[in-house]
Amino acid sequence: MTSEPLLPLIAADRVTMQFASGPMVLREVSFSVKGGEFVSLLGPSGCGKSTLLRLIAGLLAPTSGRLTVADEPPSEARRERSRVAFVFQDPTLLPWRTVTGNIRLPFELKGILTDDALARVNAVLDLVGLNAADAKKRPRQLSGGMRMRVSLARALVTDPNLLLLDEPFAALDDVLRQQLNEELVRLWQRSGWTAVFVTHNVSEAVFLSQRVLVMTSRPGTVLADVPVPFAYPRTSDLRGTAEFARLTAMLSQRLREAMS
Amino acid sequence: MKRWLHVACDAILPPLVLLVLVAAVWQWAVVRWDVRPIVLPGPGLVLEALYRRAGDLLRSVIFSGTAAMLGFFISLVAGTLIAFVFSQSRWLRTSGYPYALFLQTVPIVAIAPLIVHWCGRGWHSIVMTAGILSLFPFIANGTAGLLGVDPDLLDLFRIHNASRWQVLWKLRLPSAVPAICSGAKTSCGLAVVGSIVGEYFVGYGSKSFGLGYMILFAVDQLRMAELFAAVLASTALTVIMFGVVSLATTAILTRWYDAPEAQGDP
């Protein structure tokens, strides 16, 4: 992979978000993410984590404050230099397309259907652990975990330099979730994209990230910025260590504070 | 094969048994109260009329069925195009939808004479009546299908900077296929009604005629058994149309979502 790890630098300065005639969702959120970093946004349900991710993707515009990706407004950055990819909570696959058809969609939308692009589709299939037989199936014929792998493959196919993940494994069982977390860490290490991962699962946030931003209940704001000191590569053994348990306990305590 | 037989027995046998029971009660009532055939012919007389006029009935079913099918396809194309237009702008939708609704609410017997007046006394007026009557389900379902796209999918297309045309062609239209198929099932029955009603107003001077004319003729001549036979033929035509459209939509949707060997994604 040929990412440019230092390009997307996310900077949020007192970002506030309020939908028309609705309650305030985010209040003066400030944080930054360096290029190549893996950061998790941890917070209770409804605290505005997903809204913040959509602001970073340029799908929404903040009511006030300043948010930039690579020194540009997110919607501009998305259109120009940065390759932004988004993994949704649901796999959001096109049910009428095969797995291959879904994965190559970003290339089609960009008008790039070269041999290299198609080779990349096959490569990324392999990368997320799908085989040639799976490639011809439709989403309805796949398990929940496989659908999420396809969703991840579609996000990775364009070799993004900023990957935004909105609770992608929330609907999966615990064993599968842990397995996909390990694969995600492996993929991140290989490619070096910047990752912002939204979750309300403390253990997941600690296992994956270099830093965890704990958010308060609505209106959401950043309560704590907690570094995760564990070295990569991270394997399942990490979850059994005392340090991991201590950090998850501390973050759980912060999360309880965030909800009160 | 055995499973299909089982399914067929489950689906066909119960209504068939009910039909035989109703016919038996009907025949018994006609005999018991000595009902005159001009008021209510017995099932025996109806069967006899069906047999006697089988050739004319078959020709009429083909005539009305062809007009209904053509009207159905015209409404499929026109309705989907109108739904496209409605899906592109809220202003266009709010401006045009009441007039589309008008097509659904105005009684077809009120506008059929107008169609005949404008289009002339010919087969094309019958097709037009069938088309207009079956248009609304395509507009309503098509518009709902084109607009009812998963917001996350719309966001996915936005993230990849998709053009309006790409969103329409690669997302909205394929997403609307199930809704359009559902509209087709409603429309096909309406198309048969439209073709029969259209004939009431067109009138005839040729050897070609359909079920509408047979019904009118039977009523004028007080041939009640033939009237019942024509009504049964109309029902059979509607059932056949519905069956064909249901099979086609099931095949389309199965291929749409399941077939692993299907190639050529839109």
**Can you give the CATH number for the domain in which A50 is found?**
3.40.50.300
Encode pLDDT of B112-128 as tens digits: 888 888 887 788 889 99
C-alpha B230/C-alpha B210 separation (Å) is 10
Chain-centroid distance of CA B101 in Å reads 18
Tokens 């704990």 label which residue? A214
Which residue range forms the structural domain that includes residue B164? 61-209
Tell me the helix, strand and coil percentages in chain B, rounded to 5: 85, 0, 15
Residue B4 lies in a domain: no
Task: Check whether residue A167 and residue A54 sit in a common domain.
Answer: yes
Pick the residue from chain B with its C-alpha nearest to A54.
B155
Task: Kindly report the CATH number assigned to the domain that includes residue B134.
Answer: 1.10.3720.10
Shortest CB distance from B265 goes to which of A54, A97, A106? A97
When scoring A54, A94, A141, A161 by the number of chain B Cβ atoms within 10 A, the one with the most, hence best to mutate, is A94
Residue B162 lies in a domain: yes
pLDDT at residue A169 tops 90:
no
Residue B113 lies in a domain: yes
B170·A105 Cβ contact <8 A = yes
| Mean pLDDT score, B98-103 | 84
Task: Check whether residue A244 and residue A138 sit in a common domain.
Answer: no
**Reported confidence tier of residue B1, pLDDT bands at 50, 70, 90:** low
- Written as six digits, the tokens of B174 are 């394929």
Residues 6 or more apart whose Cβ sits within 8 Å of residue A77: A8, A58, A68, A69, A70, A84
Task: Check whether residue A42 and residue A141 sit in a common domain.
Answer: no
Pick the residue from chain A with its C-alpha nearest to B266.
A97
Backbone angles phi and psi of B44, in degrees to 5:
-65, -45
pLDDT of residue A80: 67
A101·B265 Cβ contact <8 A = yes
A92·B266 Cβ contact <8 A = no
A86·B265 Cβ contact <8 A = no
Contact A13, A65 (CB under 8 A): yes
Task: Check whether residue A55 and residue A116 sit in a common domain.
Answer: no
Contact B260, A132 (CB under 8 A): no
Encode pLDDT of B209-224 as tens digits: 888 888 888 888 888 9
Q: ipTM for the complex?
A: 0.87
- Nearest C-alpha neighbor of B138 from the set B92, B95, B103: B103
Task: Check whether residue A193 and residue A250 sit in a common domain.
Answer: yes
Residue B227 lies in a domain: no
A59·B256 Cβ contact <8 A = no
Which residue among A104, A126, A158 closes a domain? A158
Which residue range forms the structural domain that includes residue A152? 92-158
- Nearest C-alpha neighbor of A180 from the set A103, A114, A128, A244: A128
Residue A5 lies in a domain: no
Give the gap in angstroms from C-alpha A210 to the nearest C-alpha of chain B.
26
Spell out which residues of chain A touch residue B152, defining contact as CB-CB under 8 Å.
88-90, 92
Residue B51 lies in a domain: no
Residue B35 lies in a domain: no
Task: Check whether residue A177 and residue A250 sit in a common domain.
Answer: yes
When scoring B149, B155, B159 by the number of chain A Cβ atoms within 10 A, the one with the most, hence best to mutate, is B159
Contact B136, B79 (CB under 8 A): yes
The DSSP output letter for B263 is: -
Residues of chain B that touch chain A, judged by Cβ-Cβ distance less than 8 Å: 150, 152-153, 155-162, 166, 170-171, 174, 177, 256-262, 265-266
Give the gap in angstroms from C-alpha B256 to the nearest C-alpha of chain A.
5
CA atoms within 13 A on the CB side of A169: 22
CA atoms within 13 A on the CB side of A220: 24
Residue A2 lies in a domain: no
My answer on whether omega of the bond before A233 falls inside 30° of 0, hence cis, is yes
Which residue among A106, A141, A158 closes a domain? A158
Residue A241 lies in a domain: yes
Helix axes B54-88, B90-105, angle to 10 degrees: 160
Taking one residue from A and the other from B, the number of pairs with CB-CB distance under 8 angstroms is 65
Task: Check whether residue A199 and residue A168 sit in a common domain.
Answer: yes
pLDDT of residue A82: 62
Task: Check whether residue A141 and residue A166 sit in a common domain.
Answer: no
For chain B, how many structural domains are there in total? 1
Encode pLDDT of A8-66 as tens digits: 478 888 888 888 878 888 888 888 898 889 999 998 888 888 999 999 998 988 888 88
| Mean pLDDT score, A67-80 | 82
For chain A, how many structural domains are there in total? 2
Residue B44 lies in a domain: no
B174·A94 Cβ contact <8 A = yes
A136·B261 Cβ contact <8 A = yes
Query: Mean pLDDT score of chain B, rounded to an integer?
Result: 87
**Reported confidence tier of residue B189, pLDDT bands at 50, 70, 90:** very high
Spell out which residues of chain B touch residue A140, defining contact as CB-CB under 8 Å.
257-258
Encode pLDDT of A228-255 as tens digits: 898 888 888 888 899 989 999 998 888 8
Task: Check whether residue A233 and residue A200 sit in a common domain.
Answer: yes
A95·B262 Cβ contact <8 A = no
**Reported confidence tier of residue A6, pLDDT bands at 50, 70, 90:** very low
Task: Check whether residue A72 and residue A177 sit in a common domain.
Answer: yes
Residues 6 or more apart whose Cβ sits within 8 Å of residue B137: B79, B183, B184, B186, B187, B190
- Per cent of chain B over pLDDT 70 is 94
Which residue among A136, A158, A180 closes a domain? A158
Phi-psi sector, A217: left (phi>0), alpha (psi -120 to 50), beta: beta
pLDDT of residue A190: 84
